[in-house]
Amino acid sequence: MAGAALARAAQLWSLLDEMAENDPQAYRRFLRQQRAEAERFYAPPEPHLCLRARPADVVGGPLFINICSWRRVPAPKAPTDPTPVTVGRLEEGSGEGELCRIIDVAYNPAVLQGAENPEEMEHLIHLTLRLLEEQCNLALSSSYTMEPFTLKGSLAMMKQRLEGRQMPAPQLSQNTKKELTLDQLLHTGEAEDCSNSPVLLKEESVTQSRRHLIEEITSPEMREKPTVPAYEITTVRDAKEKPLQIELKIQLPRVGSVSECELSISKDDIIMEVPGKYKLQLDLPELVDEEGATAVFNTGKGLLFVTLPVARPDP
């Protein structure tokens, strides 16, 4: 595979050199197009709104749906065409003392801008709920609440859930190496960054005058869901009930070393993950100083202790 990639890169540079020498104007236009495409592809998703839905299996807690705009998702070519959408991986978490689930749904910014009026936005949300029912095997009520915040969790985790995994690069045989054009080589390279295939969501009653269908362009490869570990969180206060620090105790019986644990701490939440075993995401009751956080793992008891000093208010 490495040899095929090197051969493809060499052929690509050869074609670019030939274009720069024979058609400088086309070469400059090509570079501008590639720069614009790179900016679109690497642009991060931006939170737009967060919905709270209650699935039928209430044991799993509420479902938070992060609807975001993402330039990587293409816009529909015409009003009657399907609307491309990217759905992230469904994850379990916790917040406000209860279990919950989080999923991310990304649209092109133009789609969300075109749904600014309440009727269009309600219809888009209705289609989104039906899509999640189908893709995640959930039974969702048509009723929902719109949260006062635009994102449940962190931006980094949302981007990770939306991007999913990458597919291996396709092999190039000796017979095809010399026959590929510049455009074909570029599309072959793009296949390395695409991990999903299109899926269509149909409306209950499709009419040309109604909003277009939704087309899912990415569906990240589903991995085994990690378990939410048992935990205990305590806020330590002084004699005047002023919060001093937050202490978090997490039970990890299947973990043998602290090297297996991954911690991500922000001022208002914490994410602890042991890949393939455990994952815990908590909204913290107080803003904390993430730089002063400490963590100790008791190997014998399988307990992780995390101490988070409460952030001091600005003077």
**pLDDT tens for the 315 residues of the chain, in order:** 455 556 666 666 677 777 777 777 877 777 776 676 666 667 789 999 999 987 776 566 788 999 999 988 888 877 777 888 889 888 887 665 667 889 999 998 888 988 878 888 888 888 898 888 888 888 887 788 989 999 988 888 888 888 874 333 333 333 433 344 555 555 454 444 434 433 444 444 333 334 445 555 554 444 456 889 999 999 999 999 999 999 999 999 888 777 788 888 888 999 999 888 899 999 999 999 988 888 888 888 889 999 999 998 765
Are residues 249 and 205 part of one domain? no
241 inside domain? yes
Total structural domains in the chain? 2
Question: Of the residues 196, 223, 250, which one is the last residue of a structural domain?
Answer: 223
Could you list the residue range(s) of the whole structural domain that residue 267 is in? 231-309
Domain boundary among 223, 241, 276: 223
Instruction: Say which CATH number the domain at 259 has.
Output: 2.60.40.790
> Which one of 202, 223, 244 terminates a domain?
223
- Together in a domain, 237 and 303: yes
The torsion angle over the Cα atoms of residues 174, 175, 176 and 181, rounded to 10 degrees, is: 110
Question: Do residues 78 and 192 share a domain?
Answer: yes
Tell me, yes or no, whether 201 and 254 share the same domain: no
Looking at the structure, tell me whether residues 4 and 108 fall in a common domain. Answer: yes
Query: Taking CA 115 as the corner, what is the angle to CA 109 and CA 120, rounded to the nearest 5 degrees?
Result: 155
Total length of the chain: 315
Are 262 and 186 in the same domain? Answer: no
